Structure 1
Amino acid sequence: MFVGYVRVSTHDQNPNLQLDALRTAGCKKIFMEKSSGAQRDRPELWAALDSLRAGDSLVVWKLDRLARSLKQLIETVELLESRGIGLCSLTEAIDTTTAGGKLIFHVFGALAEFERSIIRERTKAGLDAARAHGKKGGRPSALAAKDIAAAKAMLSDPDMTMEDVAKRLQVAPSTLYRHLPGGRGAIQETEPC
């Protein structure tokens, strides 16, 4: 059985082109979604996938209707394949129930892995170059040295809790604990007798 999936990104887009193509392809059931492809939670897609059984095929008008990225597309195809379900894309004329369709997806997968490797290499090279020029990556510290000194002074008062100090400094208690491991005990240990 062919089950169709239609997605339009906005409520203004007209799904009729996709619907007509899927009906012509022989889809008995069609699930329609109005949401961005970037959204991972697409209830109509999950409903379509739940309705499919081994031997069935999910049919889409175009691959970008099913997934926003190649990685997401490959994950979806692998899920379908693991359940014995095919994928047909009408515009690209891809059918994973055929040897040629499977080959195309393996090529897509290899390209996606190659792209991820290139991105990792470029990112690493960029970070190494930045470090060589004295740049430090990551988020700036939530507490400056003067804030930490103020926190230590406040914590010398036995009536002040870490939570009180964090509230005064307008940070989460976890931030204060990260900058002062050991909490009040660490402050008292470092102060002279």
Structure 2
Amino acid sequence: MIAPSLLSADFARLADEANAVRGADWLHVDVMDGHFVPNLTLGLPVVEALLASTEIPVDCHLMIEDPDRWAVGYAEAGSYNVTVHVEAARDPVRIAKDLRAAGAKAGLSVKPKTPIEPYLELLSHYDTLLVMSVEPGFGGQAFMPEVLDKVRVARKHGLRVLVEIDGGINMDTIEQAAEAGVDCFVAGSAVYGADDPAAAVERLRARATRES
């Protein structure tokens, strides 16, 4: 699965940028509050507008403080998958239940320096695991291959979650991630930096399928 990241798109043309990646599996939307991460992007009103302008399932990655309070709103708006950070959640089990009750898949994300082992049991309540392969906050960073050990640990424990990876994914790094067992690849500049974003999605998919 390929999930183009709108963080690398033209924010003044979000509807057009979403339509430019027809054929993508998910549309990855980074919500940042300027507190949990040192960047400020977009919030629920923009996500609602985006949901009304695309048929691609929207994958909301909430890099925010207090996701216990705010996450459900993104599910209620119609997001397909809503991911919160374990480092910010006060009651991650409750969040997962609330997200599912609101009609969304529940995702849990870990930063590069956060170990996965303490949260393996917690993941039984979630549908997706998002492994960050860069420090969250800004696009265009270099891929951190050491985080793939978390993917391998999740696979070793037989967790029934979709494993997603976000950060520095391109035609080279997607091979390593696919080999480690990743299911869904978030790609920003590798897609939106291409002359034909939709074709870039298909090239990434072909490369990942070859290595998986």
TM-score, reference length from structure 2: 0.27
In terms of fraction of residues, the more helix-rich structure is 1
In terms of fraction of residues, the more strand-rich structure is 2
TM-score, reference length from structure 1: 0.29
The one of the two structures with greater contact order (alpha-carbon pairs below 8 A, sep at least 6) is 2
